[in-house]
Amino acid sequence: MTWLRVPGADDDKRSMGVLGVVTGSERYPGAAVLGVEAAWRTGIGYVRLWAPRRVQDLVLARRPETVCHAMDETSGSVDAWLLGSGQDARERDPALRALLLEALGSGAPCIVDAGALDLVRGHAGPTVITPHEGELMRLLGLRQRPFDRAAGAARIAAELDAVVVAKGAPTHVVAPGGAAVSLEARTHRLATAGTGDVLAGVLGALVAGSAAFAAAGDSLASMATEAVELHGEAAGMAAADGRPITALDLAEQLPAAVADRLSR
């Protein structure tokens, strides 16, 4: 079973999934570049980005097919949202807060990362959160390491009624009902800045492409699991022969990882 979409004769850019993206900031513009790059390279049909002008310019320089919107522009129709990567809640202005809350309250599936995690309790639709260890600690109200990440992820999944992707080695994917899986990547070269932004983009593409199934049973957790697996497979390709990698190297290997998975 795969959630990767292969277009048919009747498909167009919208039927292949429309992903709304509210990521990046003046301080961390690269998160939007990486997440958008990953979504396109996973096979999404349409990406719409809401971001400051500097972020838009950097994204368009890399991925000119992206449709960009001002922060105060109406959100319109999307199949899923990717929110919060490269943002800091302490620096969030009213326009960004309003846009994040609108997306979370829309009922569309949401992938929530980093600077939007503090708002996730207001979500109205199927939701996945992707905290790293420090962010998971903050959600749990913990101050000291070590702690049981798997148990913590299970607790937060139940509290928030959301799928939790607790990033790390291993990565734990936990559904609200308690179903859980732990996944080891093919390489620890993933321990570099921006790889989490790439994972969020991969997951956004899978969910937007299969949004009609995202609320059904454990489908959203299954999508999250496949995103983590695909992310790890692309990392293994990028780090072949022990090469150091950057997050962009990882994103550039996604088409090969997608093709390999579809050929099995």
Q: Is 35 annotated as a binding residue?
A: no
Q: Is 212 annotated as a binding residue?
A: no
Q: Is 168 annotated as a binding residue?
A: yes
Q: Is 122 annotated as a binding residue?
A: no
For residues 173 and 225, the answer to whether their CB atoms sit within 8 Å is yes
First to last CA, the chain: 10
Rounded distance between C-alpha atoms, residue 263 and residue 42, angstroms? 15
Q: Is 2 annotated as a binding residue?
A: no
Q: Is 31 annotated as a binding residue?
A: yes
Reported as type and span, the H/E element at residue 233 is helix 219-238
Q: Is 116 annotated as a binding residue?
A: no
Q: Is 132 annotated as a binding residue?
A: yes
Nearby residues of 127 by Cβ (< 8 Å), 6 or more positions away: 104, 109, 110, 111, 112, 120, 160, 161, 162, 163
Strands 67-69 and 80-83: unpaired
Find, among 17, 86, 6, the residue nearest to 48 by Cα.
17
Q: Is 171 annotated as a binding residue?
A: yes
Q: Is 177 annotated as a binding residue?
A: no
Residue ranges of the annotated binding site for (6S)-NADPHX are 31, 86, 132, 197
Residue ranges of the annotated binding site are 31, 86, 132, 167-171, 196-197
Residue ranges of the annotated binding site for AMP are 167-171, 196
